[in-house]
């Protein structure tokens, strides 16, 4: 228990350093790190910091990676802000090593659809399409101790750019989960996400042609781009299984607090119902703690919902299955975000 108190103290100190700061809203970049491409956790508004496990833990809380036994492969797709033609694609692989440790690998990319190239001379388009590449790759390691404490860390490379300008940086996620109770019904989790280097755009796209004063000819000048930080945040969550003693049913209630370094703090709650762990339904709600007319209203502020169907490969063995997941999150603009995913556990 001393280890738990020490971990809570460390993350508590981090919470004071990463408390919400609306005055810095809009100063961070790499917004792709705030997007969730996985349908299971998206159906809960990413509030399952304490109970997430397997592949999706690499996005929410890396400590949950080792809570899954075996090998899990997941594919995710999201129609981001339906009506914008923006989509998210992701793939993740996680495998436990059998001695309490687990390792995972994930890739997420954004597709912006067909964006025409325009210039001042051709504002209606040149006929070419802009090549945009937003991708992040993560490598995660997690370990579970005998005292039901698991820790994890994710190293992530973040890349953004077009054909003539780009930026690259590194980020680290760290987390801890604690499980207690006769049937492991109580769970507590902390995660510190997107702590990384400053990113700066560079490339030929920042060069401009200007006429020199000494002679009547143009010279190429390189513009300097301002750097930006990554959207760091701290998540503190807890969950409790109400029907942990019932053989075929489970109801999990959860709450989560998010301290954003570049925005307002958020508070949310969710519930998940499972029947034989083969049919799972989810409902979540998240809102900002402090409302102000001086700061931008958040994109996601309200309800989320989702469901999963898991088909076991062998009767009586729920740990080996094929799953289909879906989630919807309400947004204040456009028509929400839809997530779908498939997964295989072996």
**C-beta atoms surrounding 206 within 10 Å:** 14
Q: What is the pLDDT of residues 45-94, one digit of tens each?
A: 999 999 999 999 999 999 999 998 899 999 999 999 998 999 999 999 99
The first and second tokens of residue 17, run together, are 């350093």
How far is residue 334 CA from its own chain's centroid? Answer: 21
- Average pLDDT estimate for 300-314: 91
Q: ∠ CA(56), CA(93), CA(336), 5° rounding?
A: 40
**Annotated domain spans of the chain:** 2-345
Rounded Cα gap, residues 150 and 177, in angstroms: 5
* Residues above pLDDT 90, as percent of the chain: 59
Q: What is the pLDDT of residues 5-55, one digit of tens each?
A: 445 544 454 444 445 555 566 678 899 999 999 999 999 999 999 999 999
Q: Is the pLDDT of residue 245 over 80?
A: no
Q: Specify whether the backbone of 306 is left (phi greater than 0), alpha (psi in -120 to 50) or beta.
A: beta
List 207's β-bridge partners, or say none: 222
Q: What is the pTM of this model?
A: 0.87
Question: What is the model's pLDDT at position 17?
Answer: 44
Question: What is the model's pLDDT at position 152?
Answer: 96
Q: What is the pLDDT of residues 250-286, one digit of tens each?
A: 999 999 999 988 888 899 999 999 998 899 999 999 9
Rounded Cα gap, residues 274 and 309, in angstroms: 10
Rounded Cα gap, residues 85 and 160, in angstroms: 18
Q: Looking at the domain that runs over 2-345, which CATH code has it been given? A: 2.40.160.40
Burial (CB count within 10 angstroms: exposed 0-12, middle 13-18, buried 19+), residue 324? middle
Rounded Cα gap, residues 47 and 53, in angstroms: 13
Asked if 269 and 284 count as a contact pair (C-beta separation under 8 A), the reply is yes
Nearest alpha-carbon partner for 325 in 92, 41, 83, 55: 41
Question: What is the model's pLDDT at position 292?
Answer: 61
Question: What is the model's pLDDT at position 26?
Answer: 67
Q: What is the pLDDT of residues 99-141, one digit of tens each?
A: 889 999 999 999 998 888 888 888 888 888 888 999 999 999 9
- Return the sign of the alpha-carbon dihedral for residues 68, 70, 71, 77: negative
- Average pLDDT estimate for 327-334: 92
Question: Look-up: residue for tokens 């949950």?
Answer: 64
Residue with the larger pLDDT of the pair 238 and 24 = 238
Q: Is the pLDDT of residue 337 over 80?
A: yes
What does each C-alpha distance from 198 to 157, 162, 207, 230, 312 come to in angstroms? 12, 19, 22, 7, 45
Residue 96's contacts (CB-CB under 8 Å, 6 or more residues apart) are 66, 68, 69, 70, 71, 102
**C-beta atoms surrounding 227 within 10 Å:** 13
Q: Where are the beta strands (DSSP E) in 276-336?
A: 279-288, 302-314, 317-329
The first and second tokens of residue 217, run together, are 């000819």
């Amino acid at each position: 228990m001393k280890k738990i108190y020490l971990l809570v103290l460390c993350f508590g100190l981090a919470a004071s350093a990463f408390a919400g700061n609306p005055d810095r809203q809009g100063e961070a970049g790499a917004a792709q790190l705030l997007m969730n491409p996985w349908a299971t956790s998206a159906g809960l508004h990413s509030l399952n910091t304490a109970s997430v496990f397997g592949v999706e833990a690499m996005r929410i809380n890396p400590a949950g990676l080792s809570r899954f036994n075996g090998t899990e492969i997941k594919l995710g797709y999201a129609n981001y802000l339906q009506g914008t033609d923006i989509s998210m694609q992701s793939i993740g692989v996680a495998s436990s090593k059998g001695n309490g440790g687990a390792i995972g690998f994930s890739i997420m990319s954004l597709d912006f659809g067909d964006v025409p190239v325009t210039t001042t001379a051709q504002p209606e388009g040149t006929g070419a399409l802009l090549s945009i590449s937003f991708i992040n790759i993560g490598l995660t390691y997690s370990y579970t101790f005998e005292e039901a404490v698991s820790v994890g860390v994710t190293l992530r490379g973040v890349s953004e750019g077009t054909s003539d300008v780009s930026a690259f940086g590194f980020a680290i996620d760290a987390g801890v989960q604690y499980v207690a109770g006769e049937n492991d019904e109580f769970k507590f989790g902390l995660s510190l996400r997107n702590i990384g280097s400053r990113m700066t755009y560079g490339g030929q796209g920042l060069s401009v042609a200007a006429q020199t004063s000494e002679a009547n000819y143009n010279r190429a000048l390189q513009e300097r781009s301002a750097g930006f930080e990554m959207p760091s945040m701290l998540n503190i969550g807890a969950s409790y299984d109400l029907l942990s003693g019932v053989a075929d049913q489970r109801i999990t209630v959860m709450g989560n607090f998010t301290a954003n370094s570049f925005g307002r703090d958020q508070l949310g709650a969710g519930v998940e119902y499972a029947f034989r762990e083969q049919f799972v339904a989810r409902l979540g709600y998240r809102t900002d703690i402090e409302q102000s007319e001086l700061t931008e209203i958040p994109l996601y502020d309200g309800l989320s919902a989702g469901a999963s169907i898991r088909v076991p490969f062998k009767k009586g063995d729920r740990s080996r299955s094929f799953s289909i997941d879906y989630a919807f999150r309400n947004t204040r603009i456009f028509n929400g975000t839809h997530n779908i995913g498939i997964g295989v556990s072996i």
